[in-house]
Structure 1
Amino acid sequence: MRGYRGRQLGLTRLTIVASSLFALLIGVAFTVLLWAIADANSSVSARRASRTALVKSGSMEQIVLDLETGQRGFVITGKKDFLEPWTAARKAFPAEARRFTASVTSPEQRRIAAEITKGVRSYLNDYSVPLVDAVRRGDRAASGAAVAVEGKRRVDDLRAQFDQYMEAERVQLAERTDAAGANSRQAVITAAVGLAASIGLVAVVTVLQHRAVVAAGARRGGGRPAARGRRPRRRIPPSNVAEVGALGESFNSMAVSLQDSRRRIMESVEAVHRRTARDLHDGAQQRLVSLMIGLRLAREMLPATETSVTELLDQSITNAQTAIDELRELASGIYPLALTVRGLVTAVEDLASRCPVPVVVHSTYDRRISSAVESNAYFIVAEAVTNAVKHAEASRIDIYLDLTEVLRIRVVDDGIGGVDTATPGSGLTGLTDRVAAFDGKLSIESPPGAGTAVLVQIPMGD
């Protein structure tokens, strides 16, 4: 009886020690996990701040472009119509400057932002406003070559500062993205290690407790084995489940890698489109605008008797305006400027305004999201609208944009319906590829004669 009580005390001690170790392990694992989660949240917040800073710097740079373009057109032609973007930019500058300087993410970026704001203010107050006032007074010296050179130098300096600021912010964004990924992996590893250690500890304690109980029972029964001299019969047959699991994990890793590769390729293409559209807008389009202004000025300087020359100039002005419009459409098709500066909703509304079929945009959010997701969502909408215009014979298109944990896009038309998603060339291949690249879901409802509804859901990742 004493031996039995001694073994009961040993079993109790084993349970107490095992419970203490288990509690200690859980406490350490959760402490490390909470620390990793807090660090990951900090990295995510820093990434959002960097994205906001890039958006605000783009808005500030647009202010400079509007000031320079409107002022130059007014100086060359003397027409007040060219002052509309200049006046709007001048009015919006104080508020944009405050938002721009408030969005900085580091002391060095704060210094550069302060220099940019000071430079824009100096350009506006010391150069642009006096120049416009001089032209209004009829001062011929205001349109001299020296004044134009000074204005170009100031704008070039400001744009160089904007490029420096945005490049530094992109570097910070990349570093914060890497840090967020590392913190997320650390949190997952910590949770996995804690779970594995907990399972191992439970397994060891269970085995030890089982042996202690069996040994105590054997001693209580006289210590005689149940089947002396016989080998125990194997109860569980061998299995290759572990190998199948490893193979499944390999396929899952391959699928994740393929998904990431598709997303990186789409993001790279989006960046190339954005740079190309900006080069077209700031390069060829600006030169065509200057050419058209020069042609109009030459047209006004000719006497009315030179009919053949004036007709040729009128035709050239018309051709230049057509080229500007076509180039603007081309740049917008490659990557719309409104998408970079104002975001998805504004870009979709601009797309709707240029559609030959009446389009109504319904939106329930007004915040910015990842530029890659915004670009992908915009071109999904554009492709769905294009399909409706070309194939649906619709008289109205409705676009719904909703953002919660996922971005929901719904494009509905009142056309003929009957879309066959399995038919090659139905216009849905591009939609399918774009949605799949961001791990989204695509569904299409198109009963014959009752219109078509395209629903896309894209998960919002940090």
Structure 2
Amino acid sequence: MSAQQEYRGRRLGLTSLTVAASGLLALLIGVAFAVLLWAISDANSSTSARRASRTALVEAGTMERLLLDIETGQRGFVITKHETFLQPWQQARSKLPAAARRFTESATSTEQRRTAEQIAQGVESFLKDYSLPLVAMVRRDDPTASSLETTTEGKERVDTLRTQFGRYMADEREQLAERTDAAGTNSRQAVLAAAVGLAASTALVAVFTVLQHRAVVRPVRGTAAAAEALAGGDLSMRIPPSKVAEIGALGTSFNTMAASLQDSRRRIMESTEAVHRRTARDLHDGAQQRLVSLMIGLRLAREMLPATETETADLLDQSIDNAQTAINELRELASGIYPLVLTVKGLVAAVKDLASRCPVPTVVESKDERRISSTVESNAYFVVAEAVTNAVKHAQASRIDVSVEFGDTLRIKVADDGVGGVGKASAGSGMTGLTDRVAAFDGKLAIDSPPGGGTTILIQIPIRD
């Protein structure tokens, strides 16, 4: 028999077929993994780009507020000639250089940076060429300081700058929307590509052995599901260990990345909670106290005023009423940012205070009440506040029940007797925000909302000692 005939008579054995199939399967899995890793990398890049756009918008807003503080401070000083009205002007003036630097550095493109630099130069010019000379003119009693020409010049400058701010922020929001749309498109393409790869792998494994099915297909399917859940915002998703080295390494990287994202979101929420608490405290200890002192001074002045000064008395009474209104509004603002009762008495007391102010009758029950982590308390409180607000606005409910149970897991249930028919897909960004808050602390959020049967939201957050 010739060598060619001998070659043609050979048959591929089971080992050869298995090796060939394994090679093809490995190729398919490698492609699927590459798509997943590309999707993860693209998601990270999109997240960074969106974060940069949000930072640019925040810094632009800060610059615009400083401009308005300068303008309102100088205007109050021109009208009253009292140095106290220059306090916001002085503060804005001291903060302006650092804010301008952050504003220009936060620009997300070369064109935006040029625009930011022009705006920063315009604000600096307004301060140096108009505001500072105007204050100096008032201090030396120059009558032209309050002239129509001077006032018109200041208004035109401010209007021009605010128009530039508006265009800058509109362009930045447009870029943010484009990046968000691109990220969504890439994510859907990645999920589609991963699904196709998984289907091909499953079909190939079905032809061969159960061992291959257990060793490869199940882990790949689990990885795809975990990636989809992660893309959907469930950062608590983890991939179980695998005996296959490559899949195990991918699972470790995936789990590390998910844990890192979860820790990052938790740190952001902790930082946000600290900022909210500090802001509420500063409002209470600072501006609110100064307003109280102002109102006391006005009342003392009112009592010292002779009875014959009726016009002045009426003006003082009106000023006292305005000061009290400002105090009440500031108190409501501070409570919305971070309620004082949450810091002092804890979660249950804060929820009961929220219920007492709710326009819909709300009953709060608690079990094994105790203090827990302030960050968990604050996030749980705002979850309840959002759920109650949604029930008031959308559920057409006549009663809301809130239960809070402490144990190894913090269990919160918010139930209403409204119209129901709410799901995560139809609940909008508010429900997404609730899910993000809960997921940042390894928690779970479930919705039970049959049409016509009311809505029940169940939140479970592990409590760490």
Residues of 2 paired with 1:95 and 1:385: CA distance?
Answer: 40
- Work out whether 1:402 is the aligned partner of 2:402: no
Indicate conservation of the 8 Å contact 2:402/2:414, yes or no: no
Indicate conservation of the 8 Å contact 1:410/1:455, yes or no: no
- Work out whether 1:176 is the aligned partner of 2:172: no
How far 1:311 sits from its partner (Å)? 2.5
Alignment partner, residue 416 of structure 1: none
Selected match of 1:438 from 434, 437, 440: 434
Alignment partner, residue 79 of structure 1: 82
Indicate conservation of the 8 Å contact 1:383/1:431, yes or no: no
Per the alignment, in what secondary structure is the counterpart of residue 189 of structure 1? helix
How far 1:30 sits from its partner (Å)? 2.5
Distance change >3 Å, CA 431–CA 328, structure 1 → 2: farther
How far 1:360 sits from its partner (Å)? 4.5
Indicate conservation of the 8 Å contact 1:74/1:80, yes or no: yes
State the identity %.
48
Selected match of 2:399 from 410, 424, 427: 424
Question: Which is higher, the Rg of structure 1 or of structure 2?
Answer: 1
Residues of 2 paired with 1:399 and 1:83: CA distance?
Answer: 44
Alignment partner, residue 253 of structure 2: none
Task: Output the TM-score relative to the length of structure 1.
Answer: 0.55
The code of the aligned residue for 1:80 comes to: E
Per the alignment, in what secondary structure is the counterpart of residue 375 of structure 2? strand
Distance change >3 Å, CA 65–CA 162, structure 1 → 2: same
The code of the aligned residue for 2:309 comes to: T
The code of the aligned residue for 2:178 comes to: E
Alignment partner, residue 354 of structure 2: 386
Per the alignment, in what secondary structure is the counterpart of residue 170 of structure 1? helix
Selected match of 1:314 from 291, 309, 316: 316
Indicate conservation of the 8 Å contact 1:53/1:100, yes or no: yes
Once the two structures are superposed, the pairs formed by residues 312-351 of structure 1 within 5 Å of their partners are 312-322=314-324, 324=326, 332=333, 347-348=337-338, 351=339
Residues of 2 paired with 1:161 and 1:69: CA distance?
Answer: 19
Indicate conservation of the 8 Å contact 2:29/2:197, yes or no: yes
Q: Deviations over 1:91-143 (max 9, x none)?
A: 00011111111111112211221111011101111111111111112212111
Alignment partner, residue 221 of structure 1: none
Selected match of 1:121 from 103, 121, 124: 124
Indicate conservation of the 8 Å contact 1:360/1:399, yes or no: no
How far 1:67 sits from its partner (Å)? 0.7
Indicate conservation of the 8 Å contact 1:432/1:442, yes or no: no
Distance change >3 Å, CA 10–CA 316, structure 1 → 2: closer
Residues of 1 paired with 2:342 and 2:161: CA distance?
Answer: 41
- Work out whether 1:198 is the aligned partner of 2:173: no
Per the alignment, in what secondary structure is the counterpart of residue 438 of structure 1? helix
Q: Deviations over 1:356-381 (max 9, x none)?
A: x694599xxxxxxxxxxxxxxxxx99
Distance change >3 Å, CA 187–CA 63, structure 1 → 2: same
- Work out whether 1:137 is the aligned partner of 2:145: no
Residues of 2 paired with 1:110 and 1:436: CA distance?
Answer: 33
Distance change >3 Å, CA 387–CA 84, structure 1 → 2: same
Query: Can you give the 5+ residue segments of structure 2 that lack an aligned partner in the other structure?
Result: 213-231, 233-297, 365-369, 383-397, 405-411, 416-429, 446-457
Distance change >3 Å, CA 398–CA 118, structure 1 → 2: farther
Indicate conservation of the 8 Å contact 1:37/1:187, yes or no: no
CA-atom RMSD in angstroms: 4.7
- Work out whether 1:43 is the aligned partner of 2:46: yes
Selected match of 2:164 from 145, 150, 161: 161
How far 1:46 sits from its partner (Å)? 0.5
- Work out whether 1:29 is the aligned partner of 2:32: yes
Residues of 1 paired with 2:444 and 2:357: CA distance?
Answer: 20
Alignment partner, residue 72 of structure 2: 69
Indicate conservation of the 8 Å contact 2:70/2:93, yes or no: yes
Residues of 2 paired with 1:456 and 1:127: CA distance?
Answer: 57
How far 1:27 sits from its partner (Å)? 2.6
Residues of 1 paired with 2:122 and 2:193: CA distance?
Answer: 49
- Work out whether 1:92 is the aligned partner of 2:67: no
How far 1:435 sits from its partner (Å)? 6.4
Alignment partner, residue 267 of structure 1: none
